[in-house]
């Protein structure tokens, strides 16, 4: 799986492919090994380059070495066990001639660990475990916080819950969690941050819709859109439905939820059904209103646009290595097209909330500033408003939440 990600496949696609077949490998073990290795991808690559005398190696053997180095550095296993199992794996992978090479590289790592550390620190991709272009953007945007932002991108993500206010209350639900051995603390409103992640099967009332898994940063969207009973609301890029569900929990709305992917629309409908909520779900491209809009303006529009996902990279550790520097410009162009299209369906004095899970300014302030500059026609001027929750537009990833950006725009009549 790691070898295929290195060749350009997404990790999510690999897990979907595995789910369609038969595998006796526990999912938790696969998640640990694949995610752990890819979070350290820049580092393990640099270590192999330092220790290998081969100009270019077999891609599958290289991936075996990366995974083995992660296992050694994780501290969960005895060193000799990892080395022994890696050598045995060469046979399972039908790479019998690589046994000596794998043994030599891993034993070299154990022998030279101290000196290796000093040697690879000069390599910024090995040190920060992000691509060089990504590091440069973060450093330029957040000089004082760059180290923390990059470190967060390599960390294990927090697990946060959103209590469905229509079916439960925060304090009693927190007590139920504690009764099952799950510690948590409140983060305001309906958010509960778990002391450690747990399978959703362990969450009381999950199947009956009492609670959802949603990052605290993502939960800001419903409060920043500031919805009220009776409003006509559009969630323009809605799947898998976390924000749609939260909006419907907050108020009685006439909600339309769009997504361009039919499979994701089906997942959205399942998520809403679990919560006991209803929306008009449509498989449509939000940039083509003529295909789906009935001509009645919306009071509120949520534009949770496609982006680099640089604020949630720790949840998808393959993203940083699959993305390319020119992808950021392409995302910005797509985001501008979405804003221009959705502006047409927003009613006079309506509010549009622009949201990304990115920390790159090129996808955030730059896109919004350019959009506001374009929308200056009488009766439909774009005016940026303070966020209703009083928070900053750009939230950076940290111990409690992921990195999200929000901008609220009013269509001034």
Catalytic residues: 357
- Cα separation, 349 vs 204, in Å, equals 41
Tokens read off for 240 = 């898998």
> What residues have CB less than 8 Å from 367, skipping those under 6 apart?
332, 335, 336, 339, 354
**Which residue's entry shows tokens 């046994």?**
99
Tokens read off for 358 = 């990115």
- Cα separation, 172 vs 178, in Å, equals 10
Name all contacts of 325-333 with Cβ < 8 Å and 24+ positions apart. 325/131, 325/133, 328/137, 328/360, 328/362, 328/363, 329/362, 331/306, 331/307, 331/358, 331/363, 332/362, 332/363, 332/366, 332/367
- Cα separation, 144 vs 135, in Å, equals 13
Is the preceding omega at residue 128 within 30 degrees of 0, hence cis?
Answer: no
Q: Looking only at Cα atoms, what is the longest distance across the chain?
A: 74
**Cα 168-170-173 angle, rounded to 5 deg:** 65
Q: With contact defined as beta carbons under 8 Å apart, do 241 and 247 qualify?
A: no
- Cα separation, 358 vs 395, in Å, equals 9
Question: If you ran DSSP here, which 8-state letter would residue 346 be given?
Answer: E
- Cα separation, 199 vs 191, in Å, equals 18
- Cα separation, 211 vs 172, in Å, equals 12
């Amino acid at each position: 799986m790691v070898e295929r990600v290195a060749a350009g496949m997404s990790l999510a696609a690999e897990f979907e492919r595995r789910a369609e077949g038969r595998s006796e490998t526990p999912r938790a073990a696969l998640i640990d090994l694949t995610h752990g290795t890819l979070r350290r991808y820049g580092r393990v690559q640099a270590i192999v380059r330092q220790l290998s005398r081969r100009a270019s190696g077999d891609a599958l053997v290289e991936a075996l070495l990366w995974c083995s180095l992660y296992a050694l550095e994780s501290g969960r296993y005895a060193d000799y066990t990892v080395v022994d199992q890696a050598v045995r794996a060469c046979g399972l992978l039908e790479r019998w001639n690589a046994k000596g090479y794998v043994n030599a590289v891993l034993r070299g790592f154990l022998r030279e660990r101290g000196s290796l550390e000093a040697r690879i620190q000069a390599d910024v991709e090995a040190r920060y475990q992000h691509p060089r272009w990504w590091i440069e953007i973060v450093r330029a945007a957040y000089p004082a916080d760059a180290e923390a932002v990059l470190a967060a991108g390599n960390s294990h993500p927090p697990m946060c819950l959103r209590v469905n206010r229509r079916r439960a209350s925060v304090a009693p639900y927190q007590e139920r969690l504690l009764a099952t051995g799950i510690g948590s603390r409140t983060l305001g409103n309906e958010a509960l941050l778990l002391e450690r992640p747990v399978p959703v099967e362990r969450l009381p009332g999950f199947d009956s819709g009492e609670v959802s898994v949603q990052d605290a940063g993502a939960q800001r969207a419903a409060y920043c859109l500031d919805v009220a009973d009776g409003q006509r609301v559009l969630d323009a890029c809605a799947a898998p439905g976390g924000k749609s569900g939260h909006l419907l929990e907050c108020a009685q709305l006439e909600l339309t939820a769009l997504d361009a992917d039919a499979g994701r629309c089906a997942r959205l409908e399942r998520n809403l059904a679990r919560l006991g909520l209803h929306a008009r779900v449509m498989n449509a491209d939000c940039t083509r209103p003529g295909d789906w809009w009935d001509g009645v303006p919306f009071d509120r529009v949520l534009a949770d646009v496609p982006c680099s996902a640089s604020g949630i990279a720790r949840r998808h550790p393959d993203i940083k290595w699959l993305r390319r520097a020119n992808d950021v410009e392409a995302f910005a162009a797509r985001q501008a097209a979405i804003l221009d299209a959705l502006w047409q369906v927003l009613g006079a004095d309506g509010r549009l909330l622009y949201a990304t899970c990115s920390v790159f300014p090129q996808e955030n302030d730059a896109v919004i500033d350019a959009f506001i500059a374009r929308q200056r026609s009488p009766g439909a001027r774009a005016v940026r408003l303070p966020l209703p929750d009083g928070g900053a537009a750009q939230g950076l990833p940290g111990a409690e939440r992921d990195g999200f950006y929000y901008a609220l725009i009013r269509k001034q009549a």
